[in-house]
Amino acid sequence: MTGSGGIVGGHVIDLLGASDHHVDVVRFKGDLADVSQTKAFVDAAGPLDGVIHLGAVVAVDQVQADPARAYSVNVGGTVHLLGALAQCAQSPHFLHCSSAHVYAPQSTAIDEDAATEPHSLYGRTKLMAEIAAKDVCEVHDIPLCIGRVFSIHDPRQTGTYLRPNILRRLNEENLDLPFDLYGADSVRDFLTARQAADVIVDLALRRFEGVINIGSGVGTKIRHFVQDLASRPLNINGLGGQDCLLADTKKLTALQEVQYARP
pTM (predicted TM-score): 0.94
Say if strands 187-188 and 220-221 run parallel, antiparallel, or are unpaired. antiparallel
Q: How many domains in the chain?
A: 1
| pLDDT band at residue 60 under the 50/70/90 scheme | confident
Question: Does residue 32 belong to any structural domain of this protein?
Answer: yes
**What's the CATH number where 195 sits?**
3.40.50.720
For position 247, what pLDDT does the model report? Answer: 98
* pLDDT above 70: residue 261: no
Average pLDDT (192-199) is 97
Average pLDDT, the chain: 95
Question: Does residue 163 belong to any structural domain of this protein?
Answer: no
For 234, the 3-state DSSP assignment is coil
Beta-bridged to residue 110, according to DSSP, are 247
Question: Does residue 113 belong to any structural domain of this protein?
Answer: yes
Question: Does residue 236 belong to any structural domain of this protein?
Answer: no
Question: Does residue 115 belong to any structural domain of this protein?
Answer: yes
Structural domain that includes position 61: 7-154+190-218
CA distance 181 to 72: 33
Average pLDDT (174-196) is 97
Give pLDDT tens digits for 23-57. Answer: 899 999 899 999 999 999 999 999 999 999 999 99
For 23, the 3-state DSSP assignment is coil
Residue 93 corresponds to which amino acid? H
* pLDDT above 90: residue 196: yes
